[in-house]
Homo-oligomer: A and B are copies of this chain.
Amino acid sequence: MIETLAVVGATGAVGRIILQLLAERQFPAKNIKLLASARSAGRTVDFGGTPLTVEEMTPDAFTGVTVAIGSTPDEVALEFVPWAVEKGAIVVDESAAYRMDPSVPLVIPEVNPDAIRDHKGIIASPNCSTTQMVMALKPLHDAAGVRRVVASTYQAVSGAGLSASDELRGGMRGLLGDEPEPRQIFPHPIAANLIPQIGSLRDGGSTSEEMKMVLETRKILGDPSIGLCVTCVRVPVFNGHSESLLVETEKKLTADEARKLLSAAPGVVVVDDLANGVYPTPRAATGRDEVFVGRIREDQSSPTGISMWCVSDNLRKGAATNAVQIAEVLAR
C-alpha cells in the first residue's frame, strides 16, 4: 500500500483510462491526487464513482506524493518530473522525454520487470508501438534469440490525442456529405487515407516514431545488436495499433513453436485461425489490456523468419495499462 498516488495529465486521453484502471484494479493507494495544467485545474473527474477535483501541476503539488504516473507531452514531462523527484516521489513517465536516458529504466512489466529495481526516481514507459511489438518479440527472443525485425505499422489516430479522433470523425462526415474536412492535426486528410509519417524527420530518412521503435526495443530487450527496419503509417482507425512483423531469430522456430511460445506469454493472446477468418483487428482489440497476435507463419524468404500480425489498444497496453502495471510493482 502506498500513501499518495498522483496522476499527472489526468484529463487527457490516456489519463482518463489510467483513472479507470486504477479504480477497476483497486490500486493500493490511500490517496489519489489528480494533477493537470492550470487550464484543467478545478475540473471534477469521476474516479470509480467518486468525484475528484483536478489540481494544478506545480512544484508544491508533489509534496507528500509517493508515486506519480505522468501522461503528458514531452515538454510537460521535462518540467514536472524534476519537481516530483525533488519532492521524493517516484515517477512513472509515459512521455518520451526520459526513455533513452541511460539512468532511467524503460520497462514493460511482463518483459523486463527487474529493471525497475535500478531506478533513480524515474521509470519510463515505452512508446505504444514499441510496447506491443516487444510483448510479441519477448517469448521468441527468450527461446530463439531475435536478430532482426522488419515492422510496418498501421497506427490509429487516438495516438495523436483526443482531437485527432475528432479530425477523423469530421473527415468521414466530410467525405460522406458536403461539409469540409477538418485539417488541424494531420499534415494530410486522414479519412479514407494513409499518412506514412508519424513524427518528424530523423537522420537516414526515418521518422522520430520509427527511431523510437528501433532504439527502445534494443534498450528493453537489452541487446543493441538487434537490427530493426521500421515503417510507421497512420491509418483511418480510431483506436488500436496494428503491426505487420517479420522476426528473424538465431535459432529456427516453426510456426507452431512460435504460436505455443506466444500463447504461454503473459499478456499475449493468440488469435490465429485464418481458415475461419479469425485474427486480431483493432476494433476487436479496443478496450482490452492484452496484446493480440495472429497470422503466425514461417517466412519462405529467410531461413528463420516468423511473420505475424500484432494488434493492441494503444491507449491501454500501449500507455495507461503499462504505466499502471509499473506503479503496481512499485506499490508491492
Whether the pair A205, B237 counts as a contact (CB closer than 8 A) is no
Q: Given A204-B297, A204-B300, A229-B302, does the pair A274, B197 have CB atoms closer than 8 Å?
A: yes
Whether the pair A236, B237 counts as a contact (CB closer than 8 A) is yes
B interface footprint on A235-263 (CB within 8 Å = 1, 0 otherwise): 11110001010100000000100000000
A236 partner residues in chain B, CB cutoff 8 A: 192, 235-237
Judged by a CB distance under 8 angstroms, whether A264 is at the interface is no
Whether the pair A301, B150 counts as a contact (CB closer than 8 A) is yes
Judged by a CB distance under 8 angstroms, whether A154 is at the interface is yes
B interface footprint on A274-285 (CB within 8 Å = 1, 0 otherwise): 110101111110
A228 partner residues in chain B, CB cutoff 8 A: 300-301
Q: Given A201-B275, A282-B194, does the pair A295, B231 have CB atoms closer than 8 Å?
A: yes
A169 partner residues in chain B, CB cutoff 8 A: 176
Judged by a CB distance under 8 angstroms, whether A33 is at the interface is no
A152 partner residues in chain B, CB cutoff 8 A: 152, 231, 244
Write the chain B residue with the least CB distance to A299: B229
Determine which of B173, B175, B277, B297 lies in contact with A197 in the assembled complex, contact meaning CB atoms within 8 Å.
B277
Most B CB contacts (10 A, CB to CB) among A246, A298, A301, A311 go to A301
Q: Given A154-B154, A229-B302, A309-B231, does the pair A193, B275 have CB atoms closer than 8 Å?
A: no
Write the chain B residue with the least CB distance to A147: B301
Whether the pair A188, B277 counts as a contact (CB closer than 8 A) is yes
Write the chain B residue with the least CB distance to A193: B283
Write the chain B residue with the least CB distance to A283: B193
Judged by a CB distance under 8 angstroms, whether A288 is at the interface is no
A295 partner residues in chain B, CB cutoff 8 A: 196, 205, 231
B interface footprint on A282-317 (CB within 8 Å = 1, 0 otherwise): 111000000000111111111001010101000000
Whether the pair B231, A307 counts as a contact (CB closer than 8 A) is yes
Judged by a CB distance under 8 angstroms, whether A187 is at the interface is yes
Write the chain B residue with the least CB distance to A295: B196
CA distance A194 to B302 in the complex (A): 27
Whether the pair B196, A294 counts as a contact (CB closer than 8 A) is yes
Distance of A204 from chain B, by nearest CB (Å): 6
Q: Which residues of A190-222 are within 8 A (CB) of B?
A: 192-197, 201, 204-207, 214
CA distance A204 to B307 in the complex (A): 11
Distance of A184 from chain B, by nearest CB (Å): 14
Q: Which residues of A contact B (CB under 8 A)?
A: 148-150, 152, 154, 168-169, 172-173, 175-176, 187-189, 192-197, 201, 204-207, 214, 227-229, 231, 233, 235-238, 242, 244, 246, 255, 274-275, 277, 279-284, 294-302, 305, 307, 309, 311
The 5 closest A-B pairs by CB, nearest first: A227-B301, A152-B152, A152-B244, A205-B297, A187-B277
Q: A205-B274, A229-B299 are in contact. List 17 more A-B contacts (CB 8 A).
A: A149-B301, A150-B246, A152-B231, A152-B244, A154-B235, A192-B237, A194-B282, A196-B279, A196-B294, A196-B309, A201-B275, A204-B297, A204-B300, A229-B301, A231-B244, A233-B244, A235-B236
